[in-house]
Amino acid sequence: MQKLNIAIPQDAVWILNKLNEGGHEAYIVGGCVRDSILGRMPQDWDITTSALPEETKTIFDHTFDTGIKHGTITVVLHHENYEVTTYRIDGEYADCRHPDEVSFTKKLNEDLLRRDFTMNAIAYHPKEGFRDPFHGQEDIAAGMIRGVGEPAKRFQEDALRILRGLRFAAVLDFSLEEETDRAARRYAPLLTKVSAERCAAELGKLLCGPAAGRILRAYPAVLGVVIPELLPMVGFAHRNAHHCYDVWTHTAVAVDHVPPRLPLRLAMLLHDMGKPDTFSLGEDGQGHFYGHPRRSVELAEGILTRLRFPRRTREQVLCLVRYHDAVIEESPQRVRRWLNKLGPERFFDLLEIQRGDASAQAPAYCTRLDHLRRLEKIAGEVLAEAPCLTVRELAVGGRELLALGYQGPAIGMALRRLLDCVLEGTLPNEKTALLQYLEQIDAKKSEGKTNPRAKPKKESEKCSYLIILLKN
């Protein structure tokens, strides 16, 4: 038993001591121990104890039942929640998700045996040090993810553990131990029994890990159980001088080249899904993928909906996939147009996507990166000028146009026309200039015919109101 000091919150130490004073064993356990060993800040401090749930409730003043049938009571202390779970043995997992029944035990090792990976089956007490019967510390030191006991049995109990293993490998930059790796591949089809929400949560964390690309390249068949649409990309050659990887490898490499934010990583994962369906071979022997962004959007929409990602996430991802291949000219006018189209935040996200895409192409064709840096600079300069990018930001609005005689749809059309001029730089976003421009347009249209978009008005009334507006 190794002695090592872990900086446990005082409240957690107090809970351990209270349980010990009541004649019960108690340890912190699981992810908080693992993260502490790795030098990471734990998000939660979970406690395991020999005390039965009802005994735990009698020891503490403020508790509530979290999962009492499975032995979990939440202790509330100084407005923080601490889960305290009785040592337990899980029964059979008929649905590959939840134990059919649980039984409580007084033996810590039996509780640790039910856990997924050795690195998560370590208990710790400040006075005793570690309880580590499955050598989880050694596996952490070796960067190894090993199933507790028989990995195959652990995965059959809860198939989500397969994705959890890959997620840990991506987040911690670890590798699956050989037997655990074989079991993960063999029992991957069981993932079809896991809910979409649980799969999506693990997939999202996996994608945002620093080793996500390596895990994607190594386990396409496992991930393909959750997202079968990925599989046609595996080994699909581009047959194009712009690319040095097959479509799946290109995708995996590209994922690593965008910031670890979920919408960006998801967009990168899905951006080229349409390529196998749109492949054609030119007379020059070069492969082409005309229309693949549109097809990728179609496939991505189905996947994101099926996995029940939030609506906002779906919208962000689909937008980035739709325009990932768009050509953006290096001019303030074109950049303003794109800023208007996407908004500043999404425009810069698109540049990140295009940068990731370009970074995963053949080195000879990475000159696109310079182009993207120049676009980023232009966008920064444009935004520094506090530009008008939307109708709402125009110096005139519907009230002024109503006063000029515009009605109904004509108001919106006129405002959009003004915005077009402002975006192109042919008009300043100034009230006087915008109203004078409309007057000029109306005057031209009224020569020989009535303006169908404007409400009939006496010219004297119209001019008088214009003078009032300009003064304001």
User: How does residue 456 score in pLDDT terms, banded at 50, 70 and 90?
Assistant: very low
Is 408 inside any structural domain?
yes
Residues 197 and 239 placed together within one structural domain of the fold: no
Residues 308 and 435 placed together within one structural domain of the fold: no
What integer pLDDT is reported at residue 94 of this predicted model?
Answer: 65
Please give the tally of structural domains in the chain. Answer: 4
What integer pLDDT is reported at residue 98 of this predicted model?
Answer: 67
> Which amino acid belongs to residue 163?
L
Mean pLDDT, to the nearest integer, of 106-122? 96
pLDDT above 50 for 57: yes
Residues 102 and 166 placed together within one structural domain of the fold: no
d(CA 439, CA 436): 5
- Residue range 373-409, pLDDT digits in tens: 999 999 999 999 989 999 999 999 999 999 888 999 9
Three-state SS string over 296-343 comes to HHHHHHHHHHHCCCCHHHHHHHHHHHHHCCCCCCCCHHHHHHHHHHHC
Residues 317 and 248 placed together within one structural domain of the fold: yes
Q: Count Cβ atoms below 10 Å from residue 377 Cβ, excluding itself.
A: 12
* CATH number for 205: 1.10.110.30
Residues 116 and 150 placed together within one structural domain of the fold: no
Q: Chain-wide mean pLDDT for the chain?
A: 91
Structural domain ending residue among the three candidates 226, 255, 274: 226
pLDDT above 60 for 471: no
**284 vs 215 pLDDT, higher one:** 215
Nearest Cα to Cα of residue 263 among 216, 217, 309, 195: 309
Residues 20 and 115 placed together within one structural domain of the fold: yes
Is 177 inside any structural domain?
yes
Is 265 inside any structural domain?
yes
What is the domain range of residue 258? 234-387
What integer pLDDT is reported at residue 365 of this predicted model?
Answer: 75
* CATH number for 243: 1.10.3210
Rg of the Cα atoms in the chain: 31
- Residue range 140-176, pLDDT digits in tens: 999 999 999 999 999 999 999 999 999 999 999 999 9
What integer pLDDT is reported at residue 31 of this predicted model?
Answer: 95
Residues 135 and 24 placed together within one structural domain of the fold: yes
Residues 451 and 434 placed together within one structural domain of the fold: yes
Q: What six digits make up the tokens of 194? A: 């896991």
Residues 306 and 356 placed together within one structural domain of the fold: yes
Is 1 inside any structural domain?
no
Range picked from 17-21, 70-74, 464-468 for highest mean pLDDT: 17-21
Is 3 inside any structural domain?
no
Residues 449 and 396 placed together within one structural domain of the fold: yes
